[in-house]
Structure 1
Amino acid sequence: MQRTPGLGVLSADATRLEVWGDPIAHSRSPQLHAAAYEVLGLDWSYGLRRVDESSFAAEFADLDDSWRGLSLTMPLKGVAFATASTRDRRAELTGAVNTLLLDPAGTRGFNTDVGGIVRALADDGISDVARARIVGAGATATSALVALSELGVEEVDVVARRPEAVTALTELGRRLGIAVRTASFTAGDHSAVPLTIAALPGDAPIADAAADALASAGGLLLDVVYGHWPTALSAAWERAGNPARSGLGMLLHQALLQVRIFRNGDPDAPLAREDESLQAMRRVLEEPPTA
């Protein structure tokens, strides 16, 4: 990568940013970031680029000193993790990086999905919960489990089609002090929990009977999907009369944490005009997606 060694301070000329992934055309991230940058008076550009795992290394090597950072979505969070010279705790726990800060002293990797989940749930008044359920056992489920650990969860049921897929989550749960129990979509005796996080693709097929069983005992649903709505699970929650939230809240808050990283180098360092920035980003989500 063509970057001049330095003291870890990004040049004022480093003004280019993008979100990479495949697919990527649906991403709302460019609009979210642009709204925040306008409030903050930052003359930065933030675009999107279709990049898959096979093309990531070549695309990344072609970046020069004008680049400040990248947002990464599926399927690039694993290769971004491997690319980062240093990683924050959330990234280390999940093995996933969705934010790269192109620091002259070394590329820094972060996982803002975890914080996005925590902050989205706080919008619904959920900041402390003992038991929860995760539906799905893929990469996003890992971020969900770490988020739940930060909320004080002690027991998590993971509903998955393949029990062996839960093995990695069970091991992570041990590290986090969480008892992870494997459950099946076909089981009709799900125990009641105050919170369910769905970490499935938006078009994942789920039989109505299975979805209804989960909804009847699932409390609030946070479905990380936002491009396909309603999902099979959110529809079941509606039938049950229980609240369901899309992944837009998670998207909003993880993007704000990314802006903190790109501006301040730290996801825990608030922005100078953070409330205004967040309000501007919320307004973007109230608008129809651009074609």
Structure 2
Amino acid sequence: MVQGSPGQVLMHRAAVLGKPIEHSLSPVLHHAAYNALGLTDWEYTRHQVDAHGLEGFVAGLDHTWRGLSLTMPLKEQALLMASSASSVALRTGSVNTLVRSTDGWFGDNTDVHGIRQSLADAGLGIDLPGGEAVVIGSGATARSVLAALATFGVRRVTFLVRSRARESTLAQARDHGMTTAVRRMPDGASSCAHAALVVSTVPAAAADGLAAAIQDEKSDSERITRPIWLDVVYAGWPTMLARVGAARGAVLVPGIEMLIHQAAQQVRLMTGLEPPLAAMQAAGRAAVSSL
């Protein structure tokens, strides 16, 4: 607990920033953690902030502020705000967490942890057939996906994009020792239909055309059995892409699972305590079921 003037007790404050922000479930997850941990002197709020307003918002925070969660479109801008950063944040060029440190703000990327843990929970190991994966999209979240996939020994990635793949994302894949291919959506439907691992990093509607094309792909005897499909979208679940994956026998990983694990890592970084994962899972799953 932070002490102010004599007799005054100040809160520890944290928040999620982004634009739009109304849909964010981060307050649900962090409050569930605070309640389970008995942190009655912590609060977690949401604030609509765009990339142009981030510097001013952070500059205006007093010493009661302990951490910030960053969502779109702030993850790349937040890296510029950090006085120091983790190796994974530097490699991905993406910061979704700022934590107060003695010399300013420490930047980290807990999305990588969230992706890795949610895929591990679904049964993904280092025995991925062919070491190949399909990643839909090539933005900041795709770079976090690459960092997570590298820990599973993925050696080849096919990117499905609407126009061009971002060169920074392709360069990161090469840094991980991965070979890459790029295909336009929805022409890459066959890649998804026969992949052992598919990860979508795009908004739900952006993948609808691809999902329809996958649906038209014929099955064959060489198709991977029980592939794993992660869709980072958590509102409006299941997405059309998820429904198509389920019809093809995929193990589905909803975006809420990734969100829960990345939030748990944020709680660990901000409070210094072990996050109550079960309480956060119960709260997150209940909240997403009502969306």
Identify if the C-alpha distance between structure 1 residues 109 and 14 changes in structure 2 by more than 3 Å, giving closer, same or farther.
farther
CA distance in 1, matches of 2:181, 2:282: 39
Q: 1:215 to 1:155 in 2, by over 3 A?
A: farther
CA offsets 1:6-42 (integer angstroms, 9 cap, x no match): xxxxxx9560000011111111111111111122222
Instruction: Name stretches of at least 5 consecutive residues in structure 2 with no aligned partner.
Output: 1-8
Which protein is richer in strand relative to its size?
A: 2
Measured against aligned partners, the alpha-carbon deviations of 1:62-82 in whole angstroms (never above 9, x if no partner) come to: 101111110000001111110
Q: Does 1:282 align with 2:278?
A: no
Give the 3-state SS of the residue equivalent to 2:69 in structure 1: strand
Structure-2-length-normalised TM-score? 0.86
Question: Within 5 Å, which residues of 2 pair with 1:130-209?
Answer: 130-162=131-163, 164-184=164-184, 185-187=186-188, 189-190=190-191, 192-204=194-206, 205-209=208-212
- TM-score in terms of structure 1 length: 0.86
Number of residue pairs matched by the alignment: 270
User: What whole-Å deviation, never above 9, does each CA across 1:47-94 have from its counterpart, x for those lacking one?
Assistant: 111111122122111101111110000001111110001111111111
| Aligned residues of 2:256 and 2:285 also touching (Cα < 8 A) | no
Asked whether the 8 Å contact 2:66–2:99 carries over to 1, the reply is: yes
Distance 1:206 1:66, change over 3 A: same
Q: Structure 1 residues 35, 237: CA separation in 2 closer, same or farther (over 3 Å shift)?
A: same
User: What's the offset of the Cα at 1:286?
Assistant: 2.9
Deviation, 1:230, is 2.5
- Which residue, 38, 43, 47 being the options, matches 1:41? 38
For residue 38 of structure 1, give the secondary structure of its aligned residue in structure 2: helix
Which AA in structure 1 matches 2:24?
S
Residues 188, 222 of structure 1: alpha-carbon distance in 2 compared, 3 angstrom cutoff: closer
What letter corresponds to residue 194 of structure 1 in structure 2? A
2:230 to 217, 222, 231: 222
Q: Report the counterpart of residue 127 of structure 1 in structure 2.
A: 125
Look up the match of 2:214. 211
Structure 1 gap segments, 5+ residues each: 1-11, 265-270
Amino acid at match of 2:282: R
Matched, 1:233 2:233: no
Identity of aligned residues (%): 39
CA shift, 1:194, in A, is 1.5
**Where does residue 268 of structure 1 map in the other structure?**
none
